[in-house]
Every structure is written in structure tokens, then in C-alpha cells.
Amino acid sequence: MTVPGRRLTQQDIAKMAGVSQTTVSLVLNKRGDAEVRIAPETRERVLRVIRETGYVADPVARRLADGRNRILGVFTYEAVFPAESVDFYHPFMVGIEECAEEIGCDLLLFTSARAASGVRRRIFNEESRVRLADGCVLLGRSVDRDDLARLLSEEIPFVSVGRRDDAGGPVSYVGADYPPAVRALVERAVALGHRRLAYVGAGEGGESRADRLRGFREGVAATGAYGLRLPAAEALTTLRAAGVTAVFVEEYADCVAIARAAKDRGLEVPGDLSILTLGALTRPVQIDIDFTGLRIPRREMGRRAVELLAEVLESGGTPQELLPCELAAGATLAPPRAEPQVTGESPLA
């Protein structure tokens, strides 16, 4: 039982229960003294409608005098707990928790929207309790656009961790500013003598991937280098055949795979092939390589997401911020051993 296209109000609950809006307010605030008596069956009817619609999943939760619970929700599109120190999401959660504690808010992790039959988690389903929180931080490598559109249409305060395109309206977010950092890496490689470069990864399927590929394209165009884009599965064979000396890799795991494949073929990193990572470690791996690349400001993004959500709750608006990525020196970028020959126009120029 929902009202499509917008957020439910007390007036909606009153109509569904066949009572006045004042009665709904009294039930929500557990009022029922000598001056205002509510029949038990009326109270139960209101509570039943509340439970069925999800207007307030816990009908006995009292709101504070300022109209807020001081509870911030965290919805994750992928399972993130337990989060080890090497887990991709751990720094985000550390930043979120630190800032929530500083501003005096509790965190509520939404876990009931479980995945089933291979379908990713969704915010809204028959068990959704997202309205228990004053607002919500969204965390995931990609976020469902239908969820974003509904959050916007129902005016539920939220901030996404990661840049998001409009979803029927502008989306509040804090993200990593990938393009300038990737351009700087390309310029650094070219300055060392690399002329044939490759981008390994999807470059699509999420705003962060598209941003990294865009930065690579811009760097190639600005430096006049020759740039290729390749899927990870065929990377090493194609790289060598194309004379590529520096490869920019979207996913950290693919950096590891390319480095291991290069070693198996007797190639040295970075002497024969420089490898630059544009991602972060997502799970523990056993490899003794300090990759050159980017440091994504994950902890800072978590903190800033909570700060922005507090601003939205206080004064509204649709804040959008990108935080700079730092360059990680690492040990996998060096001048090429031989001067590469550049022929033809770059496919990515």
C-alpha cells in the first residue's frame, strides 16, 4: 500500500486508516491522556496502516523535539560487513562513523534489502525501513537509478558516496575527482618517454569508470601520445603486440593479474612494462608490488558524505563535491627501455 511518485504523509496515513491527521500524530507520539483519548481499536488500525506502508517501520520510536531522530542511515549495495582493514569499503565506513560520532548522530545500517536470485540489493521493497533514519548515505560501486529517482521524488534526504548522474533531478554526492588525476599520470608517463599507452578496463557501467577513462582520453589528447583501450581478458598479449610500454588499469585486481602474467613471460615491471593502477585494493591479495597510481580519498569521502547529509537536513539543497585523488609514487613506473615507434593516429585521441 503506497502512494506512487511521492513520499507518504500523515494525511495519507489518516485517509487510509479512516481517521483524522491529528489522530495519526497523537498515535505516532504515543499520546492518549485524559484530555485526548484514542480507542484501542483506532490506535491499532493506525499502527497497522503505518506498518503496512512503511511510513514508520517502528511505530513506537519517538522523534526528538526538533523533529529528528538524529539517526543517519547507511545503505550499501554490496555486503560490506565484516569490513577488514584491507577491504575496499573499510575506509569509507571509518570516515562515516567518525563524522557521525562528531556531530552526535547514531548510524543505522540497512541490511534487510538483501539480494535474491542474483538480483542486487534495492533500497525499496516490502521490507524497506529507510524512513526510520533522518537521511541516508548510499554506498556502492554503482547505485540503482530507479532507487535514486524514487528517493528524489519522495524527497528523502540522502547523499551518495560517488559521483552520480542526474536521475530525474540532480543527485547529492561526494565523489573522487578522477579525470585530473588520471591526466596527471598520463603526463608523468609521457614525460618519462612513454609514447604508446593503453587503458585496461570497462570504462563504462558506472560514473567512476567513465570518469577514469575520460581522464585517460584527455591525457592522451593533450600529450599527443598513442592510446588504446583494451578489455582485461586480452590485455597482456595485445599490449605486447601493439608495442605498449605503459598500461593504465581500472581495477587493482587486473593490475595484479597483468603483473603476474608479465613475470610468467619473463618481462620485468617496470623495465619492460610500466603498470599504473587507477583503482584500489578490494580484497586481500598476496603480491609484493607497490603499484604506481592513484590514492582514492575513501575515508575523506565517507566523512564528507555525512557532513553534506547534515547540511541537507539542516538547510536543504543538492550539494555535489569531488575530492582530489593523490598520486601514489609506487615502483611500477619507469622510463621505457627502448624508444617506442609511434605510427598512425591514436584511437583515443
The pLDDT tens digits of the residues spanning 153-210 come to: 999 999 999 999 999 999 999 999 999 999 999 999 999 999 999 999 988 888 999 9
The closest alpha carbon to 219, from 242, 248, 252, belongs to 248
pLDDT of 219 higher than 90: yes
Averaged pLDDT, 298-327: 94
- 17 occurs within a structural domain: yes
Task: Name the phi and psi angles at 276, rounded to 5.
Answer: -120, 125
Q: Please report the pLDDT score of residue 241 as a whole number.
A: 84
Co-location of 220 and 155 in the same domain: no
- Strands across the sheet containing 274-277: 226-230, 196-200, 246-249, 274-277, 292-295, 326-328
pLDDT confidence of 63, banded at 50, 70, 90? very low
Co-location of 165 and 92 in the same domain: yes
Q: Considering the entire predicted model, what is its pTM?
A: 0.76
Where residue 275 sits, what CATH number does that domain have? 3.40.50.2300
Q: Please report the pLDDT score of residue 120 as a whole number.
A: 61
Least confident of 63-77, 284-298, 299-313, 320-334: 63-77
Higher pLDDT, 145 or 137: 137
Element (H or E) spanning 274, and its range? Answer: strand 274-277
Residue whose C-alpha cell reads 491527521 in the numeric block: 21
Co-location of 77 and 18 in the same domain: no
Least confident of 3-7, 56-60, 122-126, 329-333: 56-60
* List of residues 6+ apart from 210 with CB closer than 8 A: 203, 204
Least confident of 28-42, 217-231, 275-289, 302-316: 28-42
Into how many domains does the chain fold? 3
